[in-house]
Amino acid sequence: MSYTVAIVGRPNVGKSTLFNRLAGRRLALVDDTPGLTRDRRESEGRLGKLEFRLVDTAGLDEERPKGLAARMRAQTEAAARAADVVVFMIDAREGVTGLDRDVARWLRRLGRPVVLAANKAEGRAALAGIGEAHALGLGEPIALSAEHGIGLAELGEALARHAPAAPPPAPAREAEDAVIDDEDRVLRLAIVGRPNGGKSTLVNRLIGEERLLTSADPGTTRDAIEVAWNWRGKRFVLIDTAGLRRKARIDERLERLSVGDTLRAVKESHVVVLVLDAVLGLEKQDLQIARLAVEEGRAIVIAVNKWDLVDEPAKALRALRDRLEISLPQVRGVRVVTLSALHGRKLDALLEAAVAARSAWNAELPKAKLNRWLEAMEAAHPPPLVRGRRPRLLFCRQVARRPPTIAIFGRQLTTLPDEYLRYLANSLRERFELPGTVIRFQLRQGANPYVDGR
């Protein structure tokens, strides 16, 4: 059942708070600063037994918008036109404003079903505003508090009146197929990098529409926006994120919120595409972002954007690969794709690299082959002696995927140096064709049978 609910209204009336409440988790950034939301954000929503597609939108401003503000308003209007029902929110404590009346007139002309919600109605100060809302000509206002969860039952009843009839139950075989883990069907791709590297432009070119706001000014994207998309029969969720700057430069509250949202997006992704600016090259902040993805155990692909502006491509690519080998040994052999998001060049190559990276990140390694590999590694280069004793690697097995995690069993493993583990990780990537994949080891050693008389 396709049923879409869009939340609209002027800035700072509580749209994102209601969005988070109906989505069941904190997805949209919430702050007292007006205009925090810029791009429209979508999620699955639920109220009781009613399920729907939920859309949060940017606040409609009073002034005649120009530039970025005009495109923000266009995004909001597009969301309202595409919705099955619009929730129009006002601030009951402030009462009905001139802008509220303008939006109400526009919604009446739009011809979409509208549910009028008077938010922040938890106190006596809101009574006058709720009374004024009747004059908007959109029916009985619903008094609610998105922050405290008041009035949601009434909102659910109003939305249900506009919902399509429920489809018949699926046949038994289809119900069984639904049990298949959706993680293996959908690739969650987080697009990360420094500000103004072309992340939003890249997402727009991939999906073939101006879905995300772009600007020459850094910091246009403030929160992580998810876009569902299909490519060659594969399902993707593309996650556009706010640019990450050095921690010393992050001093504004809104930017700290944006950075936190980007970190959440990285943790919830399968593959992280690190977008580099080909003109600026690989900088220290890029490596910090890549290491963050490594620490979270995500698969990584390097996308070098604006490659059409590079004068000596072969030399620049060789220097980039050499720098990555030295500065990012944790994912040796990481896939590097040169492209131009503005002109749409080599986008298929990027997606192919992402699919391959997710496949390696999700690999299941045969136990017998793993143990033959470990035996050969120890025979070729035994672990170094530590205080006259040499660690012994007895056998191993894979204990987890996403990323591949290998448990090594043996003796004296607590003395195994990090250099030897890096040697094993690089060999494992080469032996099992897992280039650029994060490899984790768990060292497990049995108890000494001669201790305490055992």
pLDDT at position 225 is 84
Model confidence band, residue 61 (pLDDT cutoffs 50, 70, 90): confident
d(CA 240, CA 285): 18
Choose the weakest-confidence range: 147-156, 159-168, 406-415.
159-168
365-403: pLDDT as tens digits: 999 999 999 999 999 999 999 888 899 999 999 999 999
Model confidence band, residue 180 (pLDDT cutoffs 50, 70, 90): very low
Q: Please give the structure tokens belonging to residue 369.
A: 């082959």
225-231 and 234-240 strand pairing: antiparallel
Cα dihedral value 446, 451, 453, 454, nearest 10:
0
* Length of the chain (residues): 454
Neighbours of 125 (CB within 10 A): 13
pLDDT at position 220 is 60
- Of these ranges, 93-97, 223-227, 256-260, 348-352, the one predicted with the greatest mean pLDDT is 348-352
- Whether residue 7 has pLDDT greater than 80: yes
pLDDT at position 176 is 39
Q: Please give the structure tokens belonging to residue 139.
A: 């029916």
Q: What structural domains does the chain harbor?
A: 4-160 (3.40.50.300), 182-361 (3.40.50.300), 367-453 (3.30.300.20)
Neighbours of 52 (CB within 10 A): 22
Query: What is the average pLDDT value for the chain, to the nearest integer?
Result: 86
d(CA 205, CA 340): 10
pLDDT at position 261 is 78
Residue 339 forms beta bridges with which residues? none
Answer whether 370's CB lies under 8 Å from 407's CB: no
Choose the weakest-confidence range: 195-204, 257-266, 312-321, 332-341.
257-266
Least Cα distance to 55 among 63, 47, 43 occurs for 43
d(CA 52, CA 84): 10
Give one DSSP letter per residue of 308-362, joined into a string.
Answer: GG-SSHHHHHHHHHHHHHHH-GGGTT-EEEE-BTTTTBTHHHHHHHHHHHHHHHT
Interval 5-32 mean pLDDT = 84
304-357: pLDDT as tens digits: 999 999 999 999 999 999 999 999 999 999 999 999 999 999 999 999 999 999
- Whether residue 181 has pLDDT greater than 50: no
Interval 157-182 mean pLDDT = 61
Model confidence band, residue 11 (pLDDT cutoffs 50, 70, 90): confident
Interval 17-36 mean pLDDT = 74
pLDDT above 90: percentage of residues in the chain? 62
pLDDT at position 71 is 74
42-56: pLDDT as tens digits: 889 999 889 999 999
69-114: pLDDT as tens digits: 777 788 888 889 999 999 999 999 999 999 999 999 999 999 889 9
CA geometry: angle at 297 spanning 296 and 300, to 5°? 105
Contacts of 400 (CB under 8 A, 6+ apart): 440
Model confidence band, residue 203 (pLDDT cutoffs 50, 70, 90): very high
Answer whether 59's CB lies under 8 Å from 11's CB: yes
